[in-house]
Amino acid sequence: MNLIDPILEFQTELQTIRRTIHAHPELCFEEHDTAELVANKLTEWGIPIVRGLGVTGVVGILKNGDSGRAIGLRADMDALPMQEINTFPHTSKNDGKMHACGHDGHTAMLLGAAHYLAQHRNFDGTIYLIFQPAEEGGGGAKRMMDDGLFKQFNMDAVFGMHNWPGIPVGQFGVTAGAMMASSNEFEVIVNGKGCHAAQPHKGIDPVMVAVQIAQSWQTIITRNRNPLDAAVLSITQIHGGSATNVIPDDARLIGTVRTFNLRSLDLIEERMRQIAEHTAQAFDATVEFHFKRNYPPLINHEAETAFAAQIMQDVVGTENVDIHVEPTMGAEDFAFMLQEKPGCYVFIGNGEGDHRMAGHGLGPCNLHNPSYDFNDDLLPIGATYWVRLAEAWLART
C-alpha cells in the first residue's frame, strides 16, 4: 500500500478522535458536540470554517495558490437510535444511541486528510471539507444544499466514501452509474364500511380489498417493470381491525419501494396508485394514497468515477480495487449532491469484523448491527485517498 507517512504518524491521534466520537454518538441534526469537535480541530489546524448549514453542518475551507478549481470532500457525522452492546472502552456513553454505521470513522478520515493538507499544502485551488449531519434518514446533505452549500461554495465536483463490512481492509469498491437505490415509503389507507362480521353483506370489507391490492402490486414488479431494471416493492405492515367479530372501517398497507433509476420509480408509483384506486373502486371502497420519496438513487458520474478509481488503484494497487462492485439496495443521501454536481461515491473495505477487540457483542460486524465497530486500520487508507484525490483533481490537465 502506498500510504502517506505523515498520516501514518498521525494515526494514534486519529484513532483517539474516532473513538471519542464513537463514545459520544448524536442523532440527526443534534450533532452539536461532534460538530464542535470537528470545528475545534479544523480551527486548531488553521483551517477557516463556516458553520450552521443544515443546522450542525461544518464546512472547512482550504485554499492554496490562485487556481479557480475547487473540489468537495464529504463525510457524515450522525449516529443511529439503537443500543450498543459492545463493552470495550470506547463503547457508546449515550444510552440508545450508537455509531453503528461508521460515520465516526468517516469524520475521522476526513479530519486526517484535513490535517495533512493544511500542513503540506501541496495543491493549487480550493478544497471544501464538508461535514454533514443527519445522513440516517434526515437528508442532511439536502438540508446543507438548501442552506446554500453549492451556492456559497462553488465546487467543480464532490466526492463521498462509506466503509463497507465484507470488503477486506486495503480494498475499495466502486462502480459507475447506479450504486445505491432510491428509498421511498408508502402508506395506503383503504376505507370501507365497518359492520358485524357475521353480516358482511351490510358493510364493505377493507381487509379483503387491502389483501387484493397487496397481491396485485407484486405484478408491477413481475409484469410492468423492465426486467433489466432492479426494483423492490416490500409491504412491511398490514393493519386493520381490532376484534374477531367486527369488520373494520379501514385497513392500511405500509412499506418501501427501492429502485436504481427514476424511470422505474415513476412507473412503480403510478401503477401502485392505479391498482389501489381501481381495486378499491371494484369493491365499492376508496383509498387514500400516500407515497413519499426519501432519497433518490445514488448515481456515480462516469468520468469522476474513472478518476477516483485511478487514485484508489494508486493507493492500494489495481488488484485491490473492484471497479464493478455490486450495487446495493440500501440508500444514501449523498445521492442529492450527485444530482447537482459531478462526483463519485466509493466503498472502503471495513473487513469481516476481526478487528474488534475483546468486549464486542455477539453477532457480525455489519452496518446497523449493535456490535458493529469502525475499523481503525482504515483511518490512514481513507485519509490518504482523500489527500491524493484532492491533490490530483486540482492538478488535472
CA angle 98, 299, 218 (to 5 degrees): 80
Rounded least distance, CB 368 to Zn ion, Å: 6
Per residue in 158-192, is it b (16+ CB within 10 Å) or e — as a string? bbbbbbbbebebbbbbbbbebbbbbbbebebbbeb
Residue 224 or 256 with smaller CB distance to Zn ion: 256
Write the burial class of residue 289 (CB in 10 Å: 0-12 exposed, 13-18 middle, 19+ buried): middle
Rounded least distance, CB 312 to Zn ion, Å: 19
Q: Which stretch binds Zn ion (CB under 5 A): 101-109, 143-151, 190-198, 340-348?
A: 101-109
Rounded least distance, CB 131 to Zn ion, Å: 14
Binding-residue total with Zn ion (CB under 5 A): 1
Rounded least distance, CB 212 to Zn ion, Å: 35
Residue 102 or 248 with smaller CB distance to Zn ion: 102
Count of Cβ atoms closer than 10 Å to residue 12 Cβ: 11
Residue 105 or 255 with smaller CB distance to Zn ion: 105
Rounded least distance, CB 386 to Zn ion, Å: 17
Rounded least distance, CB 25 to Zn ion, Å: 12
Count of Cβ atoms closer than 10 Å to residue 136 Cβ: 19
Residue 18 or 225 with smaller CB distance to Zn ion: 18
Each residue 16-55 as x (binds Zn ion by CB under 5 A) or -, in order, gives ----------------------------------------
Q: Which stretch binds Zn ion (CB under 5 A): 95-103, 163-171, 314-322, 374-382?
A: 95-103
Best CA proximity match to 168, nearest among 18, 384, 381: 381
C-alpha cell at 373: 465497530
Q: Hunting for cell 486500520 — which residue is that?
A: 377
3-state secondary structure of 246: strand
Residue 101 sits in the site that holds Zn ion (CB under 5 A): yes
Count of Cβ atoms closer than 10 Å to residue 330 Cβ: 15
Rounded least distance, CB 219 to Zn ion, Å: 32
Each residue 327-366 as x (binds Zn ion by CB under 5 A) or -, in order, gives ----------------------------------------
Q: Which residue is nearest to Zn ion (CB)?
A: 101
Tell me, rounded to whole angstroms, the distance of Cα 313 from its chain centroid: 24
Residue 100 or 117 with smaller CB distance to Zn ion: 100
Q: 11-23 and 103-120 helices cross at what angle (nearest 10)?
A: 140
Binding site for Zn ion (CB under 5 A): 101
